[in-house]
């Protein structure tokens, strides 16, 4: 991901142990980039959940048979 053209400075409060691990993993100068990447992934996950909800509302829930067929076609690792 390339750097954003515009940025906003936010203030967040997180538990101390989480902040310590964040700094350890990201390095002090890279915390913003690390958090930005985490937020991008979470927002993608949230939007996917929104889409799944919308599809279920429109087409009904996925049946057990449909899940089994999909799993049978999915490549095995």
Domain borders along the chain are 16-73
pLDDT score, position 3: 60
- Give the closest residue to 11 by CA, choosing from 28, 27, 35: 35
pLDDT score, position 1: 55
C-beta separation of 22 from 31 below 8 A: yes
Band of the pLDDT at 27, cuts 50, 70, 90? confident
Please state whether the predicted TM-score (pTM) of the whole model is above 0.75.
no
pLDDT score, position 32: 93
List the beta strands (DSSP E) in 5-75.
none
Convert the pLDDT of each residue in 31-72 to its tens digit.
Answer: 999 999 999 999 999 999 999 999 999 999 999 999 999 999
């Amino acid at each position: 991901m390339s750097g954003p053209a515009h940025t906003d400075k936010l203030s967040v409060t997180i538990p101390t142990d989480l902040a310590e691990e964040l700094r350890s993993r990201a390095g002090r100068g890279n915390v913003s980039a690390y958090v930005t990447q985490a937020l991008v992934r979470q927002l993608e996950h949230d939007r996917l959940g929104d889409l799944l909800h919308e599809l279920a509302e429109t087409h009904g829930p996925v049946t057990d048979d449909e899940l089994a067929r999909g799993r049978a076609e999915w490549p095995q690792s």
